Amino acid sequence: MARKKIALVGAGQIGGTLALLAGQKELGDVILLDIPDFEGVAKGKALDIAQLSPVAKFDAAYSGTSNYADIKGADVVIVTAGVPRKPGMSRDDLIGINAKVIGAVGKGIKENAPNALVIVITNPLDAMVGLMQEVTGFPASRVVGMAGVLDSARFRYFLAEEFKVSVEDVTAFVLGGHGDTMVPLVRYSTVAGIPLPDLVKMGWTTQERLDKIVQRTRDGGGEIVALLKTGSAFYAPAASAIAMAESFLKDKKRLLPCAAMLDGQYGINGLYIGVPVIIGAGGVEKIVEVAMNAEEKAMFDKSVAAVRGLVEATKKIVAAA
């Protein structure tokens, strides 16, 4: 059986890390694509990782390009093209530049990889993934945004640190938009099946400390931007998108929080928002509706309103271009 083909559009910080992780997991051959000015970066990173492969013991072909014809036949396309945040910026400040980038990239994907699953990472995520679906015209099941896996991973890490338990035993759920209004669902987050509210009752932590962890999760991306100063997080975002790509390529049917187009679920139509989905060979195979209490629903509604605002702002920018 021929190897799968993974195209990475954007060969920057996340793109390079995606390329490395895809190889280490032997998901398939990797092609890095960037703009002509950065073709050398795409080729350089491809060659560097290819030269790592004998040491790391994996087989995968690597190449770099600025020509969309080279992504022909890709099974998965992961998009990080665009600009990241700098300190003081919100993800929403990126709309102007990144909406144009997604327009160009979407056209290239539509023409050259019409059967691929497209995973969008470019921020502001919920608006950019919606724009990608619009530009490509692909079924919504084949265009999905990476945010929830990352936000949940941050939540899981902070919880594992708080409880001094393995990260492996912490499951956590984050819903809503990928921004300050995201909704970490405490009731559905557990240590080996024990929900967080029970752990508070058991004296493992206090409600106050838990509230602080929830807020740190919401601000997780900004905390890293403030430290790095030159850009935003890239290791954990890349690993999160690779988990999604792996579930698709191996038909694992993992249940992962992702930005998916809602079609009546949660009472919402035609909007991308972070919800639990099952990812398998069919792409987004199922959107899972979990019950929310009044407080959670109020937070979710607030997040949905923020995403709607972003989508409107994106539409105006695209119409004016």
Of the pair 82, 276, the CB lying nearest ligand APR is at 82
Ligand-binding annotation for 16, yes or no, is: no
Token pair recorded at residue 25: 């997991």
Q: Which of 67, 6, 83, 5 is nearest to 33 (CA)?
A: 67
Beta bridge partners, 119, equal 78, 144
Of the pair 34, 75, the CB lying nearest ligand APR is at 34
Rg of the chain over Cα atoms, rounded to whole angstroms, equals 19
Of the pair 66, 133, the CB lying nearest ligand APR is at 66
Q: Which residues bind ligand APR (CB under 6 A)?
A: 9-15, 34-35, 38, 80-85, 94, 98, 101, 104-105, 121-123, 231-232, 234, 237
Of the pair 79, 260, the CB lying nearest ligand APR is at 79
Q: Which of 178, 191, 257, 299 is catalytic?
A: 178
Q: What residue number has its CB nearest to ligand APR?
A: 12
Q: Give the whole-angstrom CA distance, residue 91 versus residue 285.
A: 28
**Is residue 178 annotated as part of the catalytic site, yes or no?**
yes
Taking a C-beta distance cutoff of 8 angstroms, is the pair 144, 260 a contact? Answer: yes
Shortest Cβ 85–ligand APR spacing (Å):
6
Shortest Cβ 249–ligand APR spacing (Å):
21
Ligand-binding annotation for 154, yes or no, is: yes
Please list, in sequence order, all residues whose beta carbon lies within 8 angstroms of the beta carbon of residue 257, skipping any fewer than 6 positions away.
147, 148, 149, 151, 152, 173, 174, 175, 274, 275, 276, 277
Neighbours of 163 (CB within 10 A): 16
Binding residues for NAD(+): 10-15, 34, 98, 121-123
Residues annotated catalytic, as ranges: 178
Binding residues: 10-15, 34, 85, 91, 98, 121-123, 154
